[in-house]
Amino acid sequence: MSGLRPSGRAIYFFGALGGLLFGYDTGVISGALLFIPNDFKLSPFLQGAIVAGLLLGAMIGAACAGPLSDRVGRRRLIITAAIVFTGGAILAAVAPSVWVLVAARFIIGLAVGSAALVVPLYLAEIAPAEIRGAIVSLNQIMITGGILLAFIVNAILASSGNWRLMLGLAAVPSMVLLAGMLVMPETPRFLVHAGEEQTAHEVLEQLPGEDAPEERIKEIHEVEQEEQKESGLRDLLAAKWVRPALLVATGLAVFQQFVGINTIIYFAPTTLTNVGFAKTSAIYANLIIGAINVLMTIVAIKIIDRVGRKPLLFAGVAGMVTSLLVLGISLSVLATPHHPGDPAAIITLVCLATFIASFAATWGPVVWVMIPEVLPLSVRGTAMGVAVFGNWAANFLVSQTFPPLLSAVGPGPVFLGYAALGIVAAVFVHRYVTETKGRSLEEIEADLQRTTGVRRGRGGPGARRPAVSG
Ligand code: BGC
Convert the pLDDT of each residue in 286-310 to its tens digit.
899 999 999 999 999 999 999 999 9
Index of the ligand 1 atom closest to the CA of residue 26: 10
The ligand 1 atom nearest the CA atom of 262: 10
Average pLDDT on 179-205 reads: 92
Among candidates 264, 288, 225, which has minimal Cα distance to 411? 264
Does 358 sit in the ligand 1 pocket, CB within 6 Å?
Answer: no
What does the pLDDT read at residue 401? Answer: 93
Q: Say what the pTM is.
A: 0.90
Angle, vertex CA 144, rays to CA 440 and CA 363, nearest 5: 50
pLDDT of residue 267 exceeding 50: yes
Top mutation candidate among 25, 30, 255, 256 for ligand 1, by most atoms within 8 Å of CB: 256
Instruction: Give the distance between the most distant pair of CA atoms in the chain.
Output: 71
pLDDT of residue 221: 85
pLDDT for the residue 312: 98
d(CA 287, CA 264): 12
**Atom number of ligand 1 nearest to Cα 395:** 9
Angle at which helix 309-333 crosses helix 363-374, to 10 degrees, equals 140
Q: Which atom of ligand 1 is nearest to the CA of 368?
A: 7
Positive or negative, the Cα torsion across 368, 372, 374, 375?
A: positive
Atom 11 (ligand 1) nearest CA: 364
Tell me what the pLDDT averaged over the chain comes to. Answer: 89
pLDDT in tens, 135-172: 999 999 999 999 999 999 988 998 898 999 999 999 99
The rounded Å distance from CA 364 to ligand 1 centre is: 6
User: Secondary structure of the chain in the HEC alphabet?
Assistant: CCCCCCCHHHHHHHHHHHHHHHHHHHHCHHHHHHHHHHCCCCCHHHHHHHHHHHHHHHHHHHHHHHHHHHHHCHHHHHHHHHHHHHHHHHHHHHCCCHHHHHHHHHHHHHHHHHHHHHHHHHHHHHCCHHHHHHHHHHHHHHHHHHHHHHHHHHHHHCCCCCHHHHHHCCHHHHHHHHHHHHCCCCCHHHHHHCCCHHHHHHHHHHCCCCCCHHHHHHHHHHHHHHCCCCCCHHHHHHCCCCHHHHHHHHHHHHHHHHCCHHHHHCCHHHHHHHCCCCHHHHHHHHHHHHHHHHHHHHHHHHHHHHHCHHHHHHHHHHHHHHHHHHHHHHHHHCCCCCCCCCHHHHHHHHHHHHHHHHHHCCHHHHHHHHHHHHCCHHHHHHHHHHHHHHHHHHHHHHHHHHHHHHHHHCHHHHHHHHHHHHHHHHHHHHHHCCCCCCCCHHHHHHHHHHHCCCCCCCCCCCCCCCCCCC
In whole angstroms, give the CA distance from residue 366 to residue 368: 6
Ligand 1 atom with the smallest distance to the CA of 391 is 8
Model confidence pLDDT, tens digit, residues 417-455: 999 999 999 999 999 999 999 998 988 888 877 877 766
Q: Whose CA is nearest to atom 8 of ligand 1?
A: 364
Is 378 close to ligand 1, i.e. is its CB under 6 Å away?
A: no
Residue 207 CA to residue 452 CA, distance in Å, equals 32
With a 6 Å cutoff on the Cβ, whether 36 touches ligand 1 is no
- pLDDT greater at residue 208 or residue 397: 397
* R_g of the chain, CA atoms, integer Å: 22
Q: What is the pLDDT of residues 35-46, one digit of tens each?
A: 899 999 988 888
CA of 3 to the centre of ligand 1 (A): 36
Picking from 404, 427, 155, 141, the residue whose alpha carbon sits closest to that of residue 263 is: 404
Could you tell me the CA-to-CA distances from 170 to 28, 140, 298, 367 in Å, in that order? 9, 18, 23, 25
**293 Cβ below 6 A of ligand 1:** yes
Question: Assign residue 440 a region: left if phi > 0, alpha if psi is -120 to 50, beta otherwise?
Answer: beta
- Percentage with pLDDT > 70 across the chain: 93
Cα-to-centroid distance, 176 and ligand 1 (Å): 22
- pLDDT computed for residue 227 by the predictor: 67
CA angle, residues 343, 345, 349, in degrees to nearest 5: 120
Average pLDDT of the segment spanning 331-335? 88
Q: Give, for ligand 1, the residue of 51, 143, 299 to mutate: max count of ligand atoms closer than 8 Å to Cβ.
A: 143
Residue nearest to atom 1 of ligand 1 (CA): 364
- Please tell me if the CB atom of residue 142 comes closer than 6 angstroms to any atom of ligand 1: no
Question: Measured in angstroms, how far is the CA atom of residue 94 from the centroid of ligand 1?
Answer: 28
Q: Atom 6 of ligand 1 has which residue's CA nearest to it?
A: 364
pLDDT at 280 over 60: yes
Q: Is residue 202 over pLDDT 60?
A: yes
User: Residue 341 has what pLDDT?
Assistant: 84
